[in-house]
Structure 1
Amino acid sequence: MIIVTLSLGVLAGTYGIVFGVPEQITQIWGSAPTENAASARGQTSGSRGQGRATTVVLAPLEERTYRLVLRTVGSAVSLRRADVVTTETGEVVEAALHANTLIEKGDVILRLDDRTERLSLEIAQANRDLAQATVTRYEGLRNTGNSVITDVALSEAEVALRLAQANVGLAEVALESRTIVAPISGRLGLSDVDIGDRLSSGDIIVTIDESTTLLAEFEVPERSIGLLAEGKPVFVSTPTYVGRVFEGRIKAFDSRLDSVTRSATVQAEIDNSDGLLLSGMTFTTRMSEETDPLPVVTSTAITWDRAGAGIWVAQDGKASRVPVTIRYRDGDQVWIETDAPVGAQIVIEGAAKLRDGAQISTGQTGEGQGA
């Protein structure tokens, strides 16, 4: 019986703790406990209503420049490059196509069999001489008062002379086209054309690269388009010359982005007067630029909500949220655009616990965000 009584007492106590004492029993016990409980509840409610300040760490908002650095890979092409193409059909009788030979514009690099063209020129010259003799004879007779030579006859003789002269010119052009000369100064590439080969019109004989100046071609992503400007320095390196950096300058860049890669093609001129670099080499390019000073905060100061990124600014013991636009990141430093003034105290630790207008207390003040 004693055990049952104790068990009922324990159950009643537990019920009272969890669900409270029933009002009927409270009335039996008296009003004093009720008043004491109400007083206790009122004190608790009052203490909650007072609110507690959130402890945070503050630091002044600073401004610093950001150094934009772009590294990308490209390849080199000659500033001037020419594919030498034959315009005639014929057999090669002379060739000077030694690879890597430096040649000047106008140097003969190949001759085709030109016997037919030489004979055609002789025939055209003979017809011209005959026409010239006829015109000279007619003019002489007219000057002596001979009426046999009419104006019509003299005019026809002069037209025949002009046609003969034109035929001589055509024959000379045909003969010259059998001799192929260098269109530009530069260095000869490899060629498989040799004496005895028969070429057709349109065949590529050799490529000439004028490589005293090279063009480094590379792609710049959309996010780095702001780095591009004609004349801007570009630094390039190649695995062939480890540790050596060649300086160039942007010559041109595309007026639109590639729809697939979202990048623009850039060409930079590189001085190669010493001939160390070859067309087709792979380059690693680097460009850099310092921005105007921008506000910079630690990454822990940035918070996010549905509206985007923001920082908390402390003023008069309260925190207010100011939106920001993130521009650059470097480690735990973030460069931003914001309406918060430089020098304002911002929350760099404890920001995740804040609500707009929340009271804050300073547990520690940061001397600088860059520290």
Structure 2
Amino acid sequence: MRKFVSLLVAVGLLFGAYAITFGLPGTDATSEAAQPQSAAGGRPAGGPPGGGRARGATSVVTTALEQRPYEVTLYATGTASSLRSADVVTETAGTVVETRLTANRDVEQGEVLVRLDARTQELNLEIARANLQQATDTVDRYDRLRAGGNSTITDVAQSEARVAQQLADAEVGLAEVALEDRTIRAPISGRLGLSEVEVGDILGANDVIATIDQTETLVVEFELPERAIGVLGQAHEVLVSTSAFVGRSITGEILSFDSRIDAVTRSVTVKAKIDNAERILWPGMTFAVRLLHESEPLPVLPSTAVTWSRMGAAVWVDDGGTAVRVPITILYRKNEFVWVEADIADGAMVVTEGAQKLRDGAKITAVGAETEKAPS
């Protein structure tokens, strides 16, 4: 008897615990009937429009698909050089007797910069001219004799005299070139660089004595990472700046880029030219380079809209209250947004929250919409 009473007490305790946790049977129906009705009498007060959420529908947050371009910004450091420059080089060895190598002055092409001792070459030119005059006189005398009927001048002798005249003429030309080589001229027009050559110095052949730069246009050479290849084929301009002129950006035009990736740095070399008509920028300066490129408008979504499966990336589209899975290809990422390639109409409502709970064909109810805008 005592065991039976203990059993009844245990059953009562279990029933009480059940009632406290889940409520008594029929409580939900009674509570629903007891809820106040709205003025329209069609749904309980405080319920969702249309009589409440559809039975079995999943609550999600959606946002409208937008089309926005993606901006690519690449950074690099480059060094400037002249679009055209030349070294002033000696043709022959000699002693300097005159210099006009004042640094940072503008020179014209052909202007005399240095003169070497040319006494030997001047004497050689006089000798060559005297030999030419002698050979010319011989040819003229043979011609007069032949014209007067003198048979002592044979054809061979006359021919040898003409050959001697031609050789003498060539020797004069060589002597003139040798003399001209003693005068060093500017190979191009531009700004003359610093030189340490002074009067009395002995120079050797092919010595570089100065440089000349045409600084109206500069070329900035820099390197970009391998991922920039797709952008280089479409971009045409860069922005450059230098610490010498803080806050000033200069637009440059891409001239060329290498046809291969460097095996060590995994980068591509690029050259861009910048206008320097004011000549305030100098060759050798360091520049911070920015390459900006804007793509065509592409579908852009918050990254929370993307789901993954064995079939790849996809998003869920609200098709009249039904979830439809649409495969996508992610093209770019930036902050919390992704630019994608997908067969989705512009303005379609895409699920951005709650997508992990969905399956194809599931009923959904949008309870809100994203208001955050993608970066332009």
Whether the TM-score (by the shorter chain) exceeds 0.5 is: yes
- Secondary structure at 2:278's aligned position in 1? coil
Identity %: 54
The C-alpha deviation readout for 1:201-235, integer Å capped at 9, x for no partner, is: 22211111111111122223333334436993332
CA distance in 2, matches of 1:197, 1:369: 72
Q: CA deviation at 1:369?
A: 5.3
Q: CA deviation at 1:6?
A: 6.5
Aligned length, in residue pairs: 334
Contact preservation (8 Å) 2:240, 2:287:
yes
Offset, 1:134: 0.5
Contact 1:212/1:274, CA 8 A, preserved across alignment = yes
1:145-190 CA-to-partner distances (Å, cap 9, x unmatched) read 1111111111110000000100111111111111111100111112
Q: How far apart, in 2, do the equivalents of 1:250 and 1:303 lie?
A: 40
1:1-371 matches, within 5 Å, as 52-228=56-232, 232-366=236-370, 370=374
**1:23 paired residue number:** none
Could you list the per-position Cα deviations for residues 128-158 of structure 1 after superposition, in whole angstroms to 9, with x for gaps in the alignment? 1111110011011111111111111111100
TM-score when scaled to structure 2? 0.80
Corresponding residue for residue 35 of structure 1: none
Shift of 1:331: 2.3
Greater percentage in helix: 1
Any stretches of 5+ residues in structure 1 without a counterpart? Answer: 15-50
Aligned to 1:47: none
Preserved CA contact (<8 Å) 2:128 2:175: yes
Bigger mean CA deviation after superposition, 187-196 or 308-317: 308-317
Unaligned stretches of 5+ residues in structure 2: 15-54
Q: Distance in 2 between matches of 1:233 and 1:359?
A: 50
Preserved CA contact (<8 Å) 2:235 2:293: no
Give the direction of change, closer, same or farther, for the CA distance of 1:193–1:308 in structure 2 (3 Å limit).
Answer: farther
- 1-side partners of 2:235 and 2:186: how far apart? 31
1:125/1:270 CA distance change after superposition, 3 Å? same
Greater CA drift, 213-222 or 251-260: 251-260
**One-letter code of the match for 1:267?**
K
The separation in 1 between residues aligned to 2:284 and 2:329, in whole angstroms, is 42
Distance 1:245 1:143 in 2: 82
Aligned letter for 2:265? T
- Please give the alpha-carbon distance, in whole angstroms, between the structure 2 residues aligned to 1:254 and 1:52: 60
What amino acid does structure 2 have at the position aligned with 1:189? G
For residues 298-351 of structure 1, give each alpha carbon's deviation from its aligned partner in whole angstroms, at most 9, with x where no partner exists: 111122334433212232533233222222233222211112222222110112
**How does the TM-score come out when normalised to structure 1?**
0.81
* Conserved? CA contact 1:78–1:210, under 8 Å: yes
1:252 is displaced (CA, Å) by: 2.4
CA–CA distance in structure 1, aligned partners of residues 374 and 139 of structure 2: 97
